[in-house]
Amino acid sequence: MRNTFPYAAAVAVLALAVEQRPAHAYLDPGTGSYAAQVLLAGALVGVFSLKSAFSRLVMRLRGGIGRHTAPNPDGE
């Protein structure tokens, strides 16, 4: 199962910034999309960078282990 706690923490901070208030006027469905991305990017980029670095580290380690444990094609 994926650990979503870091994302939850990042998004929770954002949630406090956005007041959920019903508005009954006509809304352009695009309204707010760019602003949301700016805030989301700011909130998520830290978690994403850590996740990417961890993935690269795991891949490198696996690659290293794989090199050491790969069977020798000559059987030696």
Partner 1 sequence: MTPTLDGTAPQRAVPVPAFAAPNPLAEFPSEPLGSSFRDPAGYVFRRGGEVFRRVSPECAAGDYRRLMDSGLYDDLIGAGLLLPHGEVGPSPDGSLVLRPEQLGFVSYPYEWSFSQLKDAALLTLEAQRRALSCGMSLKDASAYNVQFRGSRPVLIDTLSFEAYREGEPWPAYRQFCQHFLAPLALMSHVDVRLGPDLLRSRIDGVPADLAARLLPWKTRLKPHLYAHLHLPAGFQRKAGAAPGGGEARPSETGAVGRNGLCAILDSLDSAVRSLEWRPAGTVWGDYYGPGGTNYTAEAMFDKERLVAEFLAYAAATTQLGLVWDLGANDGRFSRLAAELGALTVAWDIDPAAVEKGYREARRRGDTRLLPLLQDLSSPSPDLGWALAERDSLLGRGPADCVMALALVHHLAIGNNVPLGRVSAFLAAASRRWLVVEWVPREDSQTKRLLAHRPDVFPGYTQEGFEAAFAADWSVEKRQPIPGTERTLYLLRRRRVDA
CA separation, residue 13 to residues 1, 7, 10, 16, 32 (Å)? 23, 10, 6, 6, 18
Closer of 49 and 65 to partner 1 (Cβ):
49
Closer of 30 and 73 to partner 1 (Cβ):
30
- Minimum CB separation of residue 22 from partner 1 in Å reads 7
Type of residue found at 24:
H
The residues binding partner 1 (CB under 8 A) are 2, 4, 7-8, 10-12, 14-15, 18-23, 25-45, 47-49, 51-52
